[in-house]
Structure 1
């Protein structure tokens, strides 16, 4: 994949919906443009539509998730329920944050877009399976990355230990595949194969990510970082959309187009998530400020900055060459080096690029704008987050 130089806009690049609404720009301090008549209302309506879809998806999927987790052995059930925010560490009930349900919402909305309400209703188990698979990866990632906070509470491994967190993740993965295997829907077998292939791709992406962390800053390329991000994030979003299409009985070309739609939206999501990982507000993200920089993570903005050939890139490489020492290093200086080297602007521009490509794939599979509206709203929701 050939990229335009940092700080240079590729004239071939299509204008994405995020740029159209002034959501993602290429300059940090640029004031948002005043939207043309109707565009502000359109963006607000899309935000409300996405929120409604997420609420409806959570309401549809949560009973399936709870029923599935009730079948787990007690020790794994305890860890899983804690991870989902439905139980405190002492085992008492909690009404916590189980996440936004973006992936199950994509399954259900894709099914509805191509097959109507009946297809959506038939896809609830598949949506729950995708959510279980997603949370299996979160439990394992937290252990591998040694993240201590998720969803504004201590991560499962910090409460119950590495072994329990890993085993709970394994159990959620098994539950996901069992839900599909036991589903009498004619698409369930193809869905199970697709989810299993996706999990293998996720594992490959995680392996690449952890291997990259052991390499020197100058040894990591932007292309391999983008490929890793697609495997870790885009693959499951694409799989979610594809499963919805399968349950709607869509033809192969529409299933593949929705898979590509989800992958492109997933890359946009990851680009913005990486920006938030550096410059996000801890009160909103639930993670300490600058945690990615302290961990020397080679996120997309960081690698873009490191490969920019600028003086700030050299400064950043020097900082990243040594482990972070609390009290001795100013993380704001590291964040500023990423920004001065163009990493933040590049990531934001690339997010708009990938959203534009996602919209092209969506139009191929669902040419009716009204039918595609829910998927458009969800795709814009996940990349509309504030830092």
Structure 2
């Protein structure tokens, strides 16, 4: 059963889409066509996709920007450039990730690089990244400049995390600490930034931006932990990718890393299965999933995700914000680890 997205996510998506579309329309035609396809607005031919048939993302990061802005001000609209900017950076990362990982599907349809070609998809990601910083700097405010610096730092950490992920593919073993450090960069950096951009654009003083960034950092690790569970046990109709996709790609995700470091007979057997040359058979994928669970990888990941959500909640204790906003942030934190798997 799929958890219902919180109302704050749906509201954020509704506020975001017109501004995001207007921003993407500023791109030159070839990049605009790829971006529109990636965001689910058009099909491979450039024809509009009816709203009821669109396969779009959760827009979690923009929702966090706007919700965090409400913690500082009743009106989230001054933070809308931040919501657009983080969604552009997220899209940049997904366009590049699909190429690096060889993932041929994204949101239940062919990934952009399989439709438009690898070079064009890379360039589109680059264009979206450049555009994200323009959007913030064009606010012309001190808060906008602080937000642009924060986003640049988060993007650098995201890239470092992705580089670590690629490095892990060449190594037989990695530690859990290394894997968590990778997740803190690849996923948590942008979620932490999303939570800080709202207060920054509203020019709220500390401790609010710092507390919300810490909330977002723990939430980001919990998000990655849950994504890694979905990468092994998620249903294709939910994830948009084949079941066991991460094992098929031999990704050293957090459940796999926990299982490999458990020191059990199942750990050694898992290392042997994942180390076999050639493309894993479907029997190997099923066996690897069983061994990850038997070695405790699934249980550790679920427990760590719950612990990270608890830590995220604790960062909000004692911080002054409206009760409704606090409740929405906590609901969103719970949603992150209750997505269907």
Interval containing the TM-score (normalised by the shorter chain): over 0.9
Deviation at 1:368, TM superposition (A): 5.3
The answer to whether the 8 A contact 2:67-2:325 is kept is: no
CA–CA distance in structure 1, aligned partners of residues 10 and 292 of structure 2: 36
In the other structure, the counterpart of 2:314 is 360
What pairs up with 1:138-153 in 2 under 5 angstroms? Answer: 138-153=94-109
In the other structure, the counterpart of 1:340 is 294
In the other structure, the counterpart of 2:8 is 53
Alignment deviations for residues 322-362 of structure 1 (CA, whole Å, 9 cap, x no partner): 24535474311110000000000000000011011000112
The answer to whether the 8 A contact 1:115-1:249 is kept is: no
In the other structure, the counterpart of 1:175 is 131
In the other structure, the counterpart of 2:117 is 161
Q: Select which of 265, 268, 277 maps to 2:219.
A: 265
In the other structure, the counterpart of 1:35 is none
Alignment deviations for residues 228-253 of structure 1 (CA, whole Å, 9 cap, x no partner): 00101111110000001212322233
Question: What's the TM-score, normalizing by structure 1?
Answer: 0.84
What pairs up with 1:47-86 in 2 under 5 angstroms? Answer: 51-86=6-41
SS at match of 1:330: helix
In the other structure, the counterpart of 1:107 is 65
RCO greater where, 1 or 2, for CA within 8 Å and sep 6 or more? 1
2:234 aligned with 1:280, yes or no? yes
Deviation at 1:94, TM superposition (A): 1.2
Question: What's the TM-score, normalizing by structure 2?
Answer: 0.95
Deviation at 1:66, TM superposition (A): 0.9
SS at match of 1:72: coil
Alignment deviations for residues 174-230 of structure 1 (CA, whole Å, 9 cap, x no partner): 1100100101343100000000011000000000000011111x3x01001001001
CA–CA distance in structure 1, aligned partners of residues 319 and 203 of structure 2: 13
In the other structure, the counterpart of 1:350 is 304
2:258 aligned with 1:304, yes or no? yes
SS at match of 1:100: coil
In the other structure, the counterpart of 2:148 is 192
In the other structure, the counterpart of 2:268 is 314
Query: Any unmatched runs of 5+ in structure 1?
Result: 1-22, 24-46
CA RMSD of aligned residues (A): 1.6
In the other structure, the counterpart of 1:13 is none
The answer to whether the 8 A contact 1:140-1:166 is kept is: yes
CA–CA distance in structure 2, aligned partners of residues 328 and 349 of structure 1: 28
The answer to whether the 8 A contact 1:258-1:365 is kept is: no
SS at match of 2:113: helix
CA–CA distance in structure 1, aligned partners of residues 6 and 140 of structure 2: 30
CA–CA distance in structure 1, aligned partners of residues 284 and 91 of structure 2: 33
Change in CA separation of 1:324 and 1:385 when aligned onto 2, cut-off 3 Å: farther
CA–CA distance in structure 1, aligned partners of residues 225 and 298 of structure 2: 9
How many equivalent residue pairs? 337
2:88 aligned with 1:132, yes or no? yes
Deviation at 1:113, TM superposition (A): 1.6
The answer to whether the 8 A contact 1:80-1:168 is kept is: yes
Change in CA separation of 1:102 and 1:324 when aligned onto 2, cut-off 3 Å: farther
Q: Select which of 204, 215, 218 maps to 2:160.
A: 204
In the other structure, the counterpart of 1:87 is 42
Change in CA separation of 1:309 and 1:71 when aligned onto 2, cut-off 3 Å: same
Change in CA separation of 1:296 and 1:366 when aligned onto 2, cut-off 3 Å: farther
